[in-house]
Chain A
Amino acid sequence: MNNEEIFEEVKQQNRTALLEHESKEILRNIGVSVPPSKLVQSTEEAVNKAKEFGFPVVMKLMSANVLHKTDAGAVTIGIRNEEEVVEVFNDYMLRFKDVEIAGVLIEKMVKKGLELIIGTQDDETFGPVLLFGVGGVLVEAIKDVVFRMCPATKKQALSAIHEIKATVLLDGFRGMPKVNKDELADMIVKLSELAWENRKYIAEMDINPIIANEDGLFPVDARIILQ
């Protein structure tokens, strides 16, 4: 499906929040690469996909009723073998038997790294603005973020990257991997363009965390909220 079709479908179902697998499909559509993942409906399918991606994997429950997945215990990381895949799948089906579920998202687990956030927000004064900064669960506590207007140019994206206080962490701080700022800036530009071009649909967007490790940049969670 193209982006507009996804937005329209979600609207028709009277939802304002895209599920993670839908948000990630949007990211793929605009050329932002995300870790390999697949929405599955059965234990067999889950096991097959896990084997295809290679362990360890992550499993997340996709449901319009469970938007704060971590809080609800609907995210399981570090799954190392087939038995654990089956166990987690069955556990989800049992615990969430009363809610409507779209399936289970099975995803190749990304190695640890620096956690970043790229977000957008349709501001009442400036229209779509983008946010870039230190991500993860502590994002609101750390507040090391910078705003730009959407759509941002690459130059603006690069200046945003240099403006956060933790910018030194991106340069290979104390043995940490160096972040490819060029690639990161491209990602910021693409997301800012997405928010601008789809401003009649997108109210808010959180790509958080984006894990930066020695292998590259990986958006591991994505949330898009519609107008």
Chain B
Amino acid sequence: MVSKLENFFNAKTFCVVGASTTPNKPGNVVAYNFVHSFPGKTFLVNPRGGELYGQKLYKSVLEIEEPIDAACLIVPAKYAPQSLEECGKKGIKNIIVTTGGFAEIGEEGIRLQQQMFEIMKSYEINVIGPNCLGIYSPSLGFDTMFLPKSKLNRPKAGPVSIFTQSGAFGAAFIDQLSRLGTARWVSKFISYGNASDINETDSLEYVGDDPDTQMILIYLEDFKEGREFMEKAREISLKKPIMGIKANRTETGAKAGASHTAALSSNDAIVDDLLEDAGIIRVITWDQLEDCVLAFGTQPLPLDDRVAIVTDGGGAGVMASDMVSDCNLKLAEFSEVVQKKLDETFPSFFATGNPIDLTGSATAEDYRIAFEIIYDDPNVDSIVNLCIPVIPDLDISEYINITKEFAKRDKKPFVTALVGGDEADYASKELMKEDIPVFPSPGRAVRALGMLTDYTRYLQKHGIDPKQIDVEEGK
């Protein structure tokens, strides 16, 4: 069966209803996006008629002679039912309603949304929204995000698909991804808002089946079809990582009931366990989500949980080690040959255990030697590269090149934390130009490895070899 969202992303003719001639108005932005990026045929509708971006403005969808596959309604809420009805008469089956002012504002809005729902049912229309950003796919040329590029920058095509209940979250995260590294991240973005029809479960089903989606990122506040969502997630998470935020953690407490089970059944306690059981990596904070994109989007999965740390500062190494145990990871014990080589190679005042502390006398070459010795150690599953670049003998350009080289070797996850001021910022920026995962603290770098390792464990528990999962393939 073709999923509802497939019809949207497969559309060959698209209509913008409410195309505005006033610059930067939502209807103007969306019209601009489609006229300039959509490879199919775009039709613009505005009751006043005229012309926009060299295209005719039809006074009504009913004036258009060709069949329309999908449309975006950008009209005030009170005109939306009438507009939707006309689209129904025209035979448009897939419609995005970005406008707000529906169920989210209270009684009057609920009535309007109900009215929309009835029209939708009688014409068998699939609806995304209302109160949402709609869809964005840089490779397919869909962009109903009604904020101009001068305000909301667009990331380029990549392996990550995102769906979100909150449009504001979506806008912020999309903007964030547009300046994360090369910005090559997004496959499909779906903001479904009030979910009058298409919801989290439809979205998950679509991106789960989508061959261009290598990883799935979600933002939810509640579930419309919780049971179906978890069942689908359980299948999909064996093929591609799903991670995200389920916010609204404290709102619904446990209901009073006659049993201990009822008393312990707070909504979030259940959600937390069911997400984990379905293989969804739950993150709590916004920064973790970006870290997820960086780690999963650029590094292979580790085959086990043994971490090697290389540092030029004792404190950073100790903090990273603490985070290793907080994330249920282990410090690798180097194999005999590797340990011997480390001991023989480095001066006695370097610490050659794990963490390897190259101390304040470290040069970039010392980093290279250390990585070269430990990289292929079968006892090491992942590597943390910590650097406080204030030390005198460290050539930052050389260090950057070495880091790039090892992060791109692609046999084991390799994460970097650069801690400090301008020099650290400079090196981070240089690395990020090539999507080398670099974090501003040892803790975040290790936590990113922890998330990768959690997913490895989940796959292995279900008899799947983590080597089969390759997110970067999509880049």
Chain A contact residues, CB within 8 Å of chain B: 17, 67, 117, 119-121, 123, 125-127, 129, 131, 135, 139-140, 143, 145-149, 156, 159, 163, 203-206, 208, 223, 225
Contacts and interface: CB of A to CB of B under 8 A. Distances in A.
B259 A148 contact: no
B264 A139 contact: yes
Contacts of A119: 259-261, 264
B152 interface: no
Interchain residue pairs A-B with the least CB separation, the first 7: A119-B261, A147-B273, A125-B226, A206-B259, A204-B259, A126-B226, A121-B265
Contacts of B461: 159
Nearest to B223: A125
B263 interface: yes
Interface of B: 222-223, 226-227, 230-231, 257-265, 267, 269-271, 273-274, 277, 461
A129 B262 contact: no
A120 B227 contact: no
B409 to A, nearest CB: 34
Contacts of A206: 259-261
B259 A149 contact: no
A225 B258 CA distance: 8
Contacts of B274: 126, 129, 147-149
Contact of A149 (B223, B230, B257, B261): B230
Given A131-B264, A159-B461, A121 B257 contact: yes
B260 A149 contact: no
Contacts of B262: 121, 204
A205 B277 contact: no
13 contacts: A17-B258, A121-B265, A123-B267, A125-B226, A125-B271, A126-B227, A139-B260, A148-B274, A149-B227, A159-B277, A159-B461, A204-B257, A204-B258
B225 to A, nearest CB: 9
Given A143-B264, A148-B277, A225 B259 contact: yes
Given A125-B223, A140-B264, A225 B230 contact: no
Given A129-B265, A147-B274, A148-B273, A121 B226 contact: no
B115 to A, nearest CB: 26
Nearest to B231: A149
Nearest to A144: B264
A156 B259 contact: no
Contacts of A147: 265, 269-270, 273-274
Nearest to A17: B258
Given A125-B226, A156-B277, A159-B461, A208 B260 contact: yes
With most chain A CB atoms within 10 A of its CB, the pick from B226, B230, B261, B461 is: B261
B265 A149 contact: no
Contacts, number: 83
A124 to B, nearest CB: 8
Contacts of A131: 261, 264-265
Contacts of A120: 261
A125 B222 contact: yes
B205 to A, nearest CB: 17
Nearest to A129: B270
Given A121-B257, A121-B265, A126-B230, 5 more contacts: A121-B259, A123-B226, A123-B267, A205-B261, A225-B259
A204 B267 CA distance: 15
A140 B226 CA distance: 25
Contact of A123 (B231, B263, B270): B270
Question: A126, A140, A146 — which one has the most chain B CB atoms within 10 A of its CB?
Answer: A126
Nearest to B278: A149
A90 to B, nearest CB: 30
A117 B273 contact: no
B229 to A, nearest CB: 9
Contacts of A129: 265, 270, 274
Contacts of A225: 257-259
A125 to B, nearest CB: 4
Nearest to A138: B260
Contacts of A125: 222-223, 226-227, 267, 270-271
B261 A127 contact: no
A18 B271 CA distance: 28
A129 B267 CA distance: 11
Contacts of B267: 123, 125
B227 A223 contact: no
Nearest to B263: A140
Contacts of B271: 125
B223 to A, nearest CB: 5
B233 to A, nearest CB: 11
A140 to B, nearest CB: 5
A226 to B, nearest CB: 10
Contacts of B273: 146-148, 163
Nearest to A126: B226
A126 B231 CA distance: 11
Contacts of A203: 257
A126 B226 CA distance: 5
A126 B259 CA distance: 18
A134 B230 CA distance: 25
B323 to A, nearest CB: 21
A149 B277 contact: yes
A120 B261 CA distance: 6
A127 B269 CA distance: 15
A145 B264 contact: yes
A131 B226 CA distance: 17
Nearest to A207: B261
B356 to A, nearest CB: 33
A156 B230 CA distance: 13
A36 to B, nearest CB: 25
A119 B263 CA distance: 11
A146 to B, nearest CB: 5
A69 to B, nearest CB: 13
Contacts of B261: 117, 119-121, 131, 204-206
Nearest to B270: A147
